[in-house]
Structure 1
Amino acid sequence: MISMSKLEKLLKERGPIKKIGVLGMGYVGIPAAVLFADAPCFEKVLGFQRNSKSSGYKIEMLNRGESPLKGEEPGLEELIGKVVKAGKFECTPDFSRISELDAVTLAIQTPFANPKDLEPDFSALIDGIRNVGKYLKPGMLVVLESTITPGTTEGMAKQILEEESGLKAGEDFALAHAPERVMVGRLLKNIREHDRIVGGIDEASTKRAVELYSPVLTVGQVIPMSATAAEVTKTAENTFRDLQIAAINQLALYCEAMGINVYDVRTGVDSLKGEGITRAVLWPGAGVGGHCLTKDTYHLERGVKIGRGELDYPEGADSIYVLARKVNDFMPAHMYNLTVAALERLGKKMDGSKVAMLGWAFIKDSDDARNTPSEPYRDLCLKAGASVMVHDPYVVNYPGVEISDNLEEVVRNADAIVVLAGHSAYSSLKADWAKKVSAKANPVIIDGRNVIEPDEFIGKGFVYKGIGRGDKNSHKIK
Structure 2
Amino acid sequence: MDLYEKILSRKAKIAVIGLGYVGMPISVAFASKADVIGFDINEDKVELYKKGIDPTNEVGNEVIKKTTAEFTSDQKKLREASFHIVAVPTPVNADHTPDLRPVDSASQILGRNLAEGSVVVYESTVYPGVTEEICIPILEKESGMKCGRDFKVGYSPERINPGDKVHRLENIIKIVSGMDEESLDIIARVYSLIVSAGVHKAESIKIAEAAKVIENSQRDINIAFMNELSIIFNRMNIDTSAVLKAAGTKWNFLKFTPGLVGGHCIGVDPYYLTYRAEQLGYHSQIILSGRRINDDMGEYVVENLIKRLIKADVPVKNARIAILGFTFKENCPDTRNTRVIDIINALREYELIPAIADPLANNAEARREYGIELKKPEEIMDVDAVIIAVNHDEYLKLGKDDLDKLFKKVPNNNKVLIDIKGILNRTEYEQLGYTYWRL
Class of the TM-score when normalised by the shorter of the 2 chains: 0.7 to 0.9
Say which of 200, 204, 223 aligns to 2:182: 204
Displacement after TM superposition at 1:134 (Å)? 2.3
Say which of 89, 92, 100 aligns to 1:109: 89
Hey, what's the Cα distance between the residues in 2 that align with 1:406 and 1:394?
A: 12
Q: Which amino acid aligns with 2:436?
A: Y
Aligned length: 426
Say which of 317, 334, 359 aligns to 1:351: 317
Say which of 47, 51, 66 aligns to 1:81: 66
SS, match of residue 225 in structure 1 = coil
Which residue number corresponds to residue 401 of structure 1? 372
Hey, what's the Cα distance between the residues in 2 that align with 1:428 and 1:109?
A: 33
Which residue number corresponds to residue 69 of structure 1? 55
With the length of structure 2 as denominator, give the TM-score of the two structures: 0.87
Matches within 5 A, 1:282-293: 282-285=256-259, 287-293=260-266
Comparing 128-137 with 240-249, greater Cα deviation is found at 128-137
Which residue number corresponds to residue 300 of structure 2? 334
Cα deviation, 1:425-454, whole Å, max 9, x if unaligned, reads 444444577558422232222221112223
Q: Which amino acid aligns with 1:393?
A: P
* 5+ long unaligned stretches in structure 1: 1-11, 312-316, 468-478
Cα deviation, 1:163-209, whole Å, max 9, x if unaligned, reads 22232222332111111111234589722111111122333332222
Which residue number corresponds to residue 254 of structure 1? 232
Question: Are residues 104 and 342 of structure 1, via their aligned partners in 2, closer, same or farther at CA, if it must alter by over 3 Å?
Answer: same
Hey, what's the Cα distance between the residues in 2 that align with 1:30 and 1:359?
A: 25
Say which of 462, 465, 468 aligns to 2:437: 465
Say which of 146, 157, 161 aligns to 1:183: 161
Cα deviation, 1:288-341, whole Å, max 9, x if unaligned, reads 22121111111111232345xx64xxxxx7521121111111111111111111
Cα deviation, 1:29-76, whole Å, max 9, x if unaligned, reads 23222322322xx4x3222233x5533415743xxxx344343626x7
Hey, what's the Cα distance between the residues in 2 that align with 1:72 and 1:164?
A: 33
Hey, what's the Cα distance between the residues in 2 that align with 1:192 and 1:432?
A: 42
Question: Are residues 389 and 36 of structure 1, via their aligned partners in 2, closer, same or farther at CA, if it must alter by over 3 Å?
Answer: closer
* 5+ long unaligned stretches in structure 2: none
Which residue number corresponds to residue 7 of structure 1? none
Question: Are residues 45 and 365 of structure 1, via their aligned partners in 2, closer, same or farther at CA, if it must alter by over 3 Å?
Answer: closer
SS, match of residue 38 in structure 2 = strand
Comparing 435-444 with 16-25, greater Cα deviation is found at 435-444
CA contact (8 A) 2:220 2:290 kept: yes
Cα deviation, 1:107-128, whole Å, max 9, x if unaligned, reads 112222x3x3123332232222
Is 2:25 the counterpart of 1:31?
yes
CA contact (8 A) 2:120 2:152 kept: yes
Question: Are residues 270 and 188 of structure 1, via their aligned partners in 2, closer, same or farther at CA, if it must alter by over 3 Å?
Answer: closer
Matches within 5 A, 1:427-438: 427-431=396-400, 434=403, 437-438=407-408
Say which of 397, 414, 417 aligns to 2:386: 417
Hey, what's the Cα distance between the residues in 1 that align with 2:220 and 2:409?
A: 39
* Root mean square deviation of aligned Cα: 2.7
Is 2:419 the counterpart of 1:453?
no
Identity, % of aligned positions: 28
SS, match of residue 176 in structure 1 = strand
Q: Which amino acid aligns with 2:22?
A: V
Hey, what's the Cα distance between the residues in 2 that align with 1:318 and 1:99?
A: 43
With the length of structure 1 as denominator, give the TM-score of the two structures: 0.81
SS, match of residue 102 in structure 1 = strand
Question: Are residues 229 and 385 of structure 1, via their aligned partners in 2, closer, same or farther at CA, if it must alter by over 3 Å?
Answer: same
Hey, what's the Cα distance between the residues in 1 that align with 2:343 and 2:73?
A: 41
Cα deviation, 1:246-293, whole Å, max 9, x if unaligned, reads 1111111111122222222212322221xxxx11221122x1221211
Say which of 34, 37, 48 aligns to 1:46: 37
Q: Which amino acid aligns with 1:448?
A: I
Q: Which amino acid aligns with 1:439?
A: K
Q: Which amino acid aligns with 1:226?
A: S
